[in-house]
Structure 1
C-alpha cells in the first residue's frame, strides 16, 4: 500500500470534514426535527473519532519490534478496527430503537431543511471516502474507518430521498424508516470486520489448505513427516507459521538448505511471512498434523 493513501494530511482533512459536517447536521437535525439527520450527525461524530483512532493505531502499528513486543505493534490496528466496527453496531441499535418509537409516534419534519443539509453532507462524505479509498483495500483498520464514511454517504442518500418524499407527500414516517434501513445495512457490513478482527485476536488459523501444505513439505526428498503445525496472523497481511518436520539424522549444515526450501515454498505458494521449523528424527513421527495436548502429556 502506498504511503500517500495513509498520509497524515489525508487523515487530517477527512477528520476536519467530518467535524464540520457533524456540527452542520446536528444543527440541521434540530431545526428540521429529522431523526435521520441527527442520527447521521452522531454517526459523523463517531467517524471523526474513529479516523483519529485509526490514524493513531496506524502510527503505532508501524513501530519496530522491541524486546517486550517481538512481533511489533501491528495488533494496535486490529484493535482499532474492532472498536470502530463495534461502535458502529452499538450506534445502529440505539438509533433503531429511537426510530421504532417514532414510527408509533411520528414527529413533524421540515423536509426542505432536511434536504439541504443532506445534500451538503453527502458531498462531504463522498469526498472523505474518495480520500481513504485506496488505503482501505489493503488495511483492515483503514477499511473499518472507510466503512464508517461509506455508510455515512449511503445514509445521506437515504436522507435525501426521504427529504424529497417528506417535502412532496408529507409522509413523516419515512424519516424513521430510513434510519432503520441504514442501521441494518451498517450492522450487516460491520459484522465481517468484527468477525475477522476477533479471529485474529483469538489467534484463529488463517484460511489455508493445511493438508496440501503438509503434502508439499513431505514431497521434499529429505522430509519423512510433518506434525504439530501451527499458523496464526499478526494482522490481516502477516501470517506466522511453525511446524515440526521429521527427517534423517543430518548435520546442521545439511538441514539449513532444507529449511530454506520449506520457507521458500510457504512464502511463494501460501504467502506465509514468518516461518519457524523444528527438525526431529523420530520424535512425534506418529502424531497428528495439528498439535494435540494429550500427545504431549503421554510423551
Structure 2
C-alpha cells in the first residue's frame, strides 16, 4: 500500500521561498553595513549571510524536487532529495562557521575600532529580518527546514549580541575585543547545532529505524491481531525523516483472513507516519 503525502514538503517549499527572498534583500544591507562600520561581527555575518542565501536557494530547489511523484527511476519518489539538501546545507554552514572562527580569533589579539552607532542600526534591521524568518520556519517538519531554522536562529542570537555589543561600545571604548568574541560564540553555536542536524540526516540516509518508531511496541501490536502467529523479515526505514517505508512477513492461521489482517496492520502502521507497506503472508 502506498499513501501519497507531500503536504509537508509543499509547505516546506513555500516557507523556504519566503525565507530566501527575505535573506536576499537583507544581503545588501549586511554588506553595506559591514563595510561602513568595520565591525568584525558584521563582516563575519556578511560571509555567512551570503552562504545563508545560497543554502536556502539550494534547500528550496531540492524541496521542490522532493514533491515529485514516483517514477521508474525513483520508484519510492523524490522525498530523499529533502534529506540530501539538509546534509549539503549543514556541511556548508559548518564550513562557513569555521571560516568565521578563522577570521575572528586573530581579532581577539589585535582588536580594531568599530562604528558602534552604525552597528546598532544594522543590528536592529537584522533582528527584524531574521526574526520574521524564524517565525516562518518555527513549525517546519522537514530536516531541510530545521537546518535553515538553526541557521536563522543563530543569526537572531548574533544580532541580539551585536545590538547589545554596539550599545556597550558606545559607552566603553576599551572593549573592542568583544566584537570578535561575539562572532566566535555564534560560530560555535552553529557548529554544534548544525552538527546534530547533520548527524540525524545521515542516520536517515543510512536507513536507521526512525526515532519515533518503537519496534517492541509495534511488534506487540501486530502479534495481538487475531490470526497472526509470527513476524519475520521486518524492516522499516525513513524516506525523509518524517514518512517511513515498511516491509514485513507475517505467519497467519488462515490465508482467507488476509484482507482483514492487512487492514489492521495498516491501521497500526499509520500511527508511525508509514506511507508505504509491503506485507507478505505465509
TM-score normalised to the size of structure 2? Answer: 0.88
**What corresponds to 2:43 in structure 1?**
38
Distance apart, 1:260 and its partner CA: 2.1
Q: Greater relative contact order: 1 or 2 (C-alpha under 8 angstroms, separation 6 or more)?
A: 2
Is the contact made by 1:23 and 1:41 (CA closer than 8 Å) also made in structure 2? no
What are the within-5 Å matches in structure 2 for residues 1-299 of structure 1?
5-6=11-12, 8=14, 11-134=16-139, 136=140, 138-170=141-173, 171-207=175-211, 208-248=213-253, 250-251=254-255, 253-268=256-271, 270-280=272-282
Is the contact made by 1:238 and 1:273 (CA closer than 8 Å) also made in structure 2? yes
Distance apart, 1:230 and its partner CA: 0.8
Is the contact made by 1:111 and 1:164 (CA closer than 8 Å) also made in structure 2? yes
Is the contact made by 1:21 and 1:124 (CA closer than 8 Å) also made in structure 2? yes
Q: 2:199 and 2:160 mapped to 1: Cα distance?
A: 28
Is the contact made by 1:40 and 1:156 (CA closer than 8 Å) also made in structure 2? no
TM-score normalised to the size of structure 1? Answer: 0.84
Distance apart, 1:112 and its partner CA: 1.7
Is the contact made by 1:43 and 1:152 (CA closer than 8 Å) also made in structure 2? no
Distance apart, 1:67 and its partner CA: 1.1
* CA shift in 2, pair 1:139/1:2, >3 Å: closer
RMSD, matched Cα: 2.1
Distance apart, 1:177 and its partner CA: 0.5
Structure 2 unpaired stretches of 5+: 1-6
Q: Which has the higher mean CA deviation after the structures are superposed, 69-78 or 201-210?
A: 201-210
Q: 1:4 and 1:218 mapped to 2: Cα distance?
A: 36
Superposed CA offset, 1:124-182 (max 9, x none) = 22222233344x2x222122222222221221111111112222101100001000111
* CA shift in 2, pair 1:212/1:72, >3 Å: same
Q: 2:67 and 2:53 mapped to 1: Cα distance?
A: 22
Q: 2:8 and 2:229 mapped to 1: Cα distance?
A: 43
In our comparison, the structure showing a higher alpha carbon Rg is 1
Superposed CA offset, 1:181-201 (max 9, x none) = 111222222223112110111
SS at match of 1:235: coil
Distance apart, 1:28 and its partner CA: 2.0
Q: 2:125 and 2:54 mapped to 1: Cα distance?
A: 21
